[in-house]
Structures are given as structure tokens and as C-alpha cells.
Structure 1
């Protein structure tokens, strides 16, 4: 079907005019040769056609903001790249303000580094100089301390004595060589000698006073040590007494606990025995009651038997009477039979039958009554026996339960006693362990103190040996220096060297670093005792013994 519609031209020189109609063929051949650009079933007459310039203008108006933003970004990027290229080019220029400033900063930095290096060198030199001064001061201090020791002082005294003796010898030689003596000089020398003698006496008195004061201080220290030892012993005795008292109190408390435990055991045993005695009494009472009940039952059975026997006897008597009556009636009837007619015989027979029926009825009732009584007696006996068996069984159950309760209470009591004993043993072991630990601790402390004392002695010996070596080296150098001038007056130096550390007069202690102790007199003076080294006996005591008559 060909369709056509009127279309208007919206733009151009024919704006508002109608377009020419065109036929659209929908044949299969046309569709194959010219494929449609628009969807099917679209009326081309209603499609608006826009010119290219107008379409471009519309697109430009729509994309204007985006294009402007892109242009601005491109301009900024180009400016930034240009600025970076400019900075790279200008960075190495030296004739600009920035280049000159950079050069000045680098020069200042180099000058600061050089000044800092010089300062570090000066600081290092100053530190080395100060370290040398410190070492020198330490050496001087050590030398002063070395000179202040007793042995060095004694050695210097010997050195002074040797030099004085040498000077004295030189003066004697000079005086011998001098022909004319000067009296004034002799008087002055005498005055000097007297003055020196007085000074020596004063020094000796001063030394004596110092020794006395030192002896008093030593005695005071010894007394303080003895008092301290006495206080320590008293404190230990007090501690031992306190421990003994605590042990005695503990033993008393344990004895009290044992006594209390024994009393509780006796009380429990007494209660148990009382309970068993009460139980036996109750059992005896129950047995007596049972015997009384059995006696009652026997009496009842005996009475019942008597009643039965009496009933039987009464029944036999009744039977005998009935037999007698029957015989009498029989005799009477026999007589009547003889006297009366046959009808009377029938009446008699009827009476006899009635009497026999009545008698049989009474006999049956009596038998039933006897059987009922026997049955009642048997039932009562069975009930009594059953009650007795039930009571016996209940009594046995109660006795068994009571026995189990007593056994359980006894077991609980013994477990409680066992637990008490275990706690007491545990407390005793804890106290014993505490005592053992205290003893071990005291022993360890004593051992540590002894070890510390031994270490101190070893360190002291090492220090004394080191000081002795230093002193011997110093003394050897001085003696060698003095012996270069003369060997005549070095005996005081040799004697001072041989005295040993300690400045005493006692024998040398070899195991204590060669220490020579001082021994003071046990009197108010407190002077040091002399030491006489004998070279052997000067007299032959054997000859004297033979002379006196001692021949053994």
C-alpha cells in the first residue's frame, strides 16, 4: 500500500512550503537494495531535517563549557611547563639575584663547617690536655697517699737518719780538719743540741700520749666488742629460752588436747556402755513382757481346754441324761404301746421322731458352736503368733539400725580423731621444718659471713702484697740512689725495708702477706712490746746440768 503525507519545510528558502510527496515502496527488493536508515514504521514526512551549520551551532552551544574548561586546563599546563623550563634554565645562572644569594649561602655554609671543624679540634686538644691534668693530679694524689703510709714514713725517717749520719760524718771530718775551733759556734751548737733534745723529748712525750690514747681507744673498742658479744649472747639465750618456752607451751597444749581426747573417748565409751545396758534392760523387759503374754496365752489355752473338757463332760452328762430319758420314754412308750391302739402308736412314733430331731438339732448346734470356738481360738493364736513374729522382726530391724548408727558414729568419731591427729602431726612437722629452716638459714648466714671474711682477707692480702711490691720497688730505687754516694749509712734504710708492713715489732705473719703486727703491754701504759730475735743459746746447759748433778 502506497501512503503519502504532506510535509513542511522548516528551514531554507522554502521555509513553510509543502514538500513533494514521494512514494515509499516496501517491496522486498527495495529493502534489500536500499536498507532504511530509520526504524521501520516511521513516517518520513514527520522527520525534521536540520542543516549542517545549524547542527554544528547546536553542538557548539551544548559543548561550550566543556571546551572552555579544556582550554583553560591546557593553558595552565602550558604555563606550568614553561615556568619549569625557565627555572631549569635560570637555576645555573650566576649573574642573577637568586644565583648570587645561593652562592653566598654556600660560602657561609662552608665557612661554618670549617669553623666547626677547628672548634672540634680545639675541643679535642682541650679534652686531651684536661685528661692529662687529671691523670697528673691522680698520680700526685696517689704519690701523696703513698708517702703518707707508715712504712714510707718509717723509710723516709731511715733515709733522713742516713743522710743525717752522713752529714754528721762529714761535719766530724770537717771538724777534724779544722785546726782552731770556734767556741761561740760550739755554744750555739750545744744550744741547738739541747733544743733539739728538748724537741725530741716533747715529741716522745707526745707520741707516748698518742699511744696511751690509742691504747685506751683500743681497750674501749675491745670492751665495746665484748659488750656487743655479751648482748648478742644474751639475745641468743633469750631467743633460746623463748623457743624452749614456746615448745613447753606447745607440749602442755598437746597434753591438754590428749587429756581432753581421752576424756571424750571415755565419755563416748561410757555413753555407749550405758546405751548397751539400757538396750539390754529394754530387751529383758520386752522378754519378760513376752513371757507374761506367753503365760497368759498358756493360761488361756489351759482354761480353754478346761472349758472344752467341762463342755465335753457336760455333754456326756447331758447325753447320759438324754439316753436315760430316752430309755424312760421308750419304756413309757412301750407301756403305752401295749395299752393304746394303733393310732396311739403313730402319735408316739411322731413324738419320738420329733424328740430325736430336736436332740439332733441341739447336737448340731453344739458341734457348730464348738467348731466356731475352736476356729476363733485358732485365728486368735495365729494373730498372736503373727504379731509376735512382726514385733520380733521389727525389734531386730531396730536393733540392727541402732547398731549401724552406733558403728557409724564410732567410725565418724575415729575419723575425726584421726583428722585431729593428722593436723597435730602436720603442725608439729611445720614447726620442726621451720626450726630446721631457721637453723639452716643461720648456718648459711654464718657460712656467708665466714666466706665474706675470707674474701676480705684475700683481698686485703692481695692489696698488701701489691703495696709491699710498690714499696719495695720505691725503696730499691732510693737505696740504689743513696748507695751511689756511699754504702756506709744505708743500714737504716735496709732495716726500714726489712721491717714489713704493720710497723710492729712482732713476728712476721707469712700467711697474712708478711704483716708484722704490734703487741701492746696489758697495763695502763699500753706500750708496744719489743721483739728479741735470739740467734741461739750462748751457754752450754748440758755442762751446767752435769755440774749440778742432773745426769738424766
Structure 2
């Protein structure tokens, strides 16, 4: 009951408590600040007051799950941190499984690095060795290619000849020392010498034939080049002639078109002038007809006026006669009136008045009739003149419209002709530009070909100069080496070195790659005459000279 009474207390103090205890408790509760949870305008006597301990118990019972979850998370985090610290400590131990595994991995990594370093060193050494082998192969190929050139072959032939001559002299000297009295050996030696001499002659003849064949090939190539150049020149001349012919045909066609266009313009102008002349003739005829009609109208009006004048004159004459008659009648009546009675005077006066009224009526009707006829004539004349003026105005408008249409058609025709001329000029300009571009392109191509040929000649001369220098260095070393043993048989080597390209006996032709022809040619081709090494006359001409009387 005490607890329930405490929970249900709404206002005031509980019974049985001292005032001092209440004040102490209130002072303790005042130390804890709470936010204003009550809304405004609330009756405090209707609010239930819960003690702080009870409120704390209720709140703890509601938040127990959240606190347990937070505790579990903190515990797991602490365990995880402890596990990491344990691993960090254990991995450095040598007697533990993790430490042994780590050491083995480190050792394996070091071994792999050492093996990789050794392999890299081996690869570098292998690359250096292969590079050296490649250099040796390249040097051997260059040397082999150098030995396969014609000049080096000839030089080696001279070297072989010098060594053979030296060996032959040594053998001859040895044979002379051994068997000086052996005639058979001398004959055999003589035969071998003659045989060797014949072989040398055959080789020289073969070289001559080769040179002649090479010269013929060169002449044939030169002739082919000249024929090709002639064909190209003829083809260019033919193209130029075709272009000129096309241009002349085009000009002739354009002149024909221009003449045709001029003829069309002249024909149009002639037709226009004929049309204008026809219109002028028609206008003149119409004007003449109009003048004739006007003349007829004038004659009619003049005749009408004449008739009216005659009528007026007749009327005046009639009126005069009537007046005279009236005067006579009046005089007569006056005389009768004097003589007769009043009754008779009245009858006569009445008859006279009736006759006068009848006459005036007839005169008035005649005047009205003449006036109506004159008015009709005037109206007819005005209508005719108005129609003529309207027709003339319509005719002028039609003529003006037709003239404007002709002028517009002529202007359109002129513009069309100008447009055609502009298009034709544009086409001609395009053709001329194309021809100019083609000529410039051909000229540029020819210039490029000439530059390429000059560049090729320059590079060829530089390469030949380099090869000549290499050959001279090699020949000088060989000659120096051979001259150390003997200086007697180096003439073939010196001759092979100084021979130059072409195998001639003249000076070196520097402008044509260092060839040595037998004579200096007049052109830049460097064609040389064949060189024939004659062994001498086979017949004795002394007897013939003596028989003929010659003393020299």
C-alpha cells in the first residue's frame, strides 16, 4: 500500500513525514536538472510524479538490449585487437609455426632473386657473345663480298701471278743448279713457257672479247635509251599536236557557235524590225483610214451644215414670203374690214389666226426635228471619236506591251548567251589550268627524276670512292707485305692497283667513277676502243724489203 500510495501521489506531501525530510529531499532533487517536459498551460495537479530511482529503473529495463549489444561489440573488438597483438608477437618467434613459415618464405624469395640475377647475367653475357658473333659474321660477309669484286679478283690474280713468277724463277734456278746439262728438261721448260704464254694470250683474247661484248652491250643500251627517248619525245610531240588540234577544233567550234549566235541575233533583229515595219505600215494604213473616215465625217458635217444653211435660207425666204403675204393679207383684210361688216371681220380674223397657228405648229415641229437630228449627229460623232480614241489607246497599250515583251525576251536571250559564254570561258579556263598543272607536274617530275639521278650518281661516286680507298689500303698492305720478301715481282700488283675500272691505258676518268679508258672520249659516256695485245709479227719482212729495194 505504501508503494501504491507513493505512485499515486499527485500533489503535496505524504502523511507521516516530517517537513525537514521533505525539504532535504527537495534540495537533493533540485541538484539534478531536468528539461521542461511539460507543455504550457497544464494543470500540475493532474500530473503524475514518478521518483527518480523508479524512472531510472524503467529506463534501464527498456535499454537493456542496446547495452548488451554494445558490450558484445566492445568485447569482440578487444578480442580481435588481442589476436592481432598476439600474431605480431608470435611471428618473430623462431620455434613457432608462423615464424618458421615466414623464414622459409623469405629464404625462398632470396634464392629466387639470386637465381634471377644469375639468369640476367647469363642473358647479358649471351647477348654480348651473340653480338660478337654477329659482328664476326658481318665482317666475314663484308670481307667475302670485298674479295668477290672484280678489282680485288684482278689484284689477287696479280698477286698469284707474282707468287707464281717468284716460284717459277726459284724452280728454274733450282733446276739449273741441279740439272744444267739436261736438254730435255730445257725443251720441256720451253714448251711449258710457250704453253703458259699461249694461255696468257688466250686469256687476254678472252678478256678482249669480253670487253668488246661489254662495249657492244653498252652501245646497245645507249641506243635503246636513245630510241626510248625518241619515242618519248615523239609521244610528247604527238600529245602536244593532239592538244593543239583539240584546241583548234574547239576554237573553230566556238567560232561557229558565235557566228550561229550572231546569225540568230541578226535574224531576231531582222524579224523584230520587220514586225516593227509591219506595225508601222498597219498604223499608217489605220491612220489613213482614220483620216479618210474623219474626212468623210468632216464632209458629212460640212454638207449637213450646208444643208442646214440652205434650209435656214429657205426658211428665211419662206418667212419673208409669208411676211409679205401676211402684209398683203393684212392690207387686204384691213381694206376688207373697212368695207365689210363686223361679222365678216370676225370670221376672217378667226381663219387667219387658225392658219397662223397651223403654220407656227408646222415650223416648230420642223425645228424640233432638225434639232433632234443635229443632236443625234453630234452624239454619233462623239461616240465614234470616243471609240476611235479607245481603240488607239488599246492599240498603243498592246504595242507597248509587245515591245516590252520583245525587249524582255531579248534581255533574257542576252543573259542566257552571257551565261553560256561565262560557262564556256569557265570550261576553257579549267582546261587551260589542267594543261598548265599537267605541264608543271611533268616539269616537276622531270626535275625530281633529274635530281634523283644526280643524287644517285653522287652516292655512287661516293661509294666508289670509299671502295677505292678500301681497295687501295688493302693493296698497299699486301704490296708492302710482298715487298718485304722480294721487290722483283710486285709489278703485276702495282699494275693491278693502277689499272682502274675499264682496263685501259689512259688517265683515270674522274667524272665517270674512276674508269681508265684507252683514250679520252669526246662525250661523257666514256666509251673506249678495244685493247689488243699483239704478240708481234709472225712473218719476216726483211727478205721482201731487200727484194723491193728498201735499205732501212
Fold equivalence (TM over 0.5): yes
Q: Distance in 2 between matches of 1:102 and 1:352?
A: 181
Kindly tell me: are residues 51 and 393 of structure 1, through their superposed partners in 2, closer, same or farther at Cα, counting changes over 3 Å? Answer: closer
User: SS state of the match for residue 501, structure 1?
Assistant: coil
2:384 is matched with which residue? 384
Confirm whether residue 11 of structure 1 aligns to residue 13 of structure 2. Answer: no
- Worse-matched range after superposition: 463-472 or 315-324: 315-324
Instruction: Let me know the Cα RMSD of the aligned residues.
Output: 3.9
Deviation readout 1:450-479 (Å, 9 max, x if unpaired): 111111111111111111111122222222
Corresponding position: 1:266 with 2:271: no
Question: What pairs with 1:18-167 in structure 2 (closer than 5 Å)?
Answer: 41-43=43-45, 47=48, 52=53, 55-167=55-167
**TM superposition shift of 1:323:** 2.7
Q: Distance in 1 between matches of 2:107 and 2:51?
A: 75
Aligned length: 506
Does 2:472 match 1:472?
A: yes
Q: Distance in 2 between matches of 1:518 and 1:281?
A: 103
User: How far 1:316 sits from its partner (Å)?
Assistant: 3.0
Shift, 1:181, TM fit: 4.3
| Cα displacement (A) at 1:445 | 1.2
**Quick check: 1:468–1:501 contact (8 Å CA) kept in 2?**
no
DSSP-derived class of the 1:93 partner: coil
Q: Which residue of 1 aligns with 2:326?
A: 326
CA offset digits 1:79-135 (Å, max 9, x no partner): 112112212222322221111111111112112212221221121112111111211
**Could you say what secondary structure the match of 1:11 adopts?**
helix
Once structures 1 and 2 are overlaid, which stretch shifts more, 242-251 or 88-97? 242-251
Matching residue of 1:545: none
Q: CA deviation at 1:219?
A: 6.1
Aligned counterparts of 2:8 and 2:401: Cα–Cα separation in 1: 133
* Higher alpha-carbon deviation: 416-425 or 144-153: 416-425
CA distance in 2, matches of 1:48, 1:269: 129
1:138-287 matches, within 5 Å, as 138-178=138-178, 180-182=180-182, 186=186, 189=189, 193=193, 196=196, 214=214, 218=218, 221=221, 224-225=224-225, 228-229=228-229, 231-233=231-233, 235-287=235-287
Which runs of 5 or more structure 1 residues have no equivalent in the other structure? 1-7, 23-32, 520-525, 533-552
Q: TM-score scaled to structure 1, two decimals?
A: 0.79
Q: Which residue of 2 aligns with 1:483?
A: 483
Q: 1:224 to 1:513 in 2, by over 3 A?
A: closer
Deviation per CA, 1:112-164, whole angstroms, max 9, x where unpaired?
21222122112111211111121111111111111221222222222223333
Q: CA deviation at 1:47?
A: 3.6
The 1:56–1:414 alpha-carbon spacing in structure 2 relative to 1, beyond 3 Å, is closer
CA distance in 1, matches of 2:430, 2:532: 59
Alpha-carbon distance between aligned partners in 2 of 1:192 and 1:130, rounded to the nearest angstrom = 52
Note closer, same or farther for the CA distance 1:55–1:443 as it changes in structure 2 (3 Å cut).
Answer: closer
1:28 match: none
Question: Counterparts of 1:37 and 1:201 in 2: how far apart (Å)?
Answer: 141
- Structure 2 residues without counterparts, runs of 5 or longer: 16-25, 31-35, 520-526, 534-552
Larger CA deviation: 408-417 vs 178-187: 178-187
Conserved? CA contact 1:505–1:528, under 8 Å: no
Do the aligned partners of residues 188 and 37 (structure 1) sit closer, same or farther apart at CA in structure 2, a change above 3 Å counting?
Answer: closer
* 1:435 aligned residue: 435
Q: How much has 1:299 moved relative to structure 2?
A: 2.9
Note the alpha carbon deviations across 1:144-201, whole angstroms, 9 max, x for none: 1112212222222222233333333434444454464456755665675576567657
Q: 1: distance between equivalents of 2:14 and 2:438?
A: 133
Alpha-carbon distance change, 275 to 20 in structure 1, aligned in 2, over 3 angstroms: closer
| Distance in 1 (alpha carbons) for counterparts of 2:399 and 2:246 | 50
Whether the aligned pair in 2 keeps the contact of 1:150 and 1:503 (CA below 8 Å) is: no
**Rounded Cα–Cα distance in structure 2 between residues aligned with 1:78 and 1:86:** 12
CA distance in 1, matches of 2:94, 2:75: 31
Give the distance between the partners of 2:259 and 2:244, measured in 1 at CA.
22
Change (3 A) 1:510 1:207: closer
Q: What TM-score, normalized by structure 2, do the two folds share?
A: 0.79
1:187 and 1:531 mapped to 2: Cα distance? 29
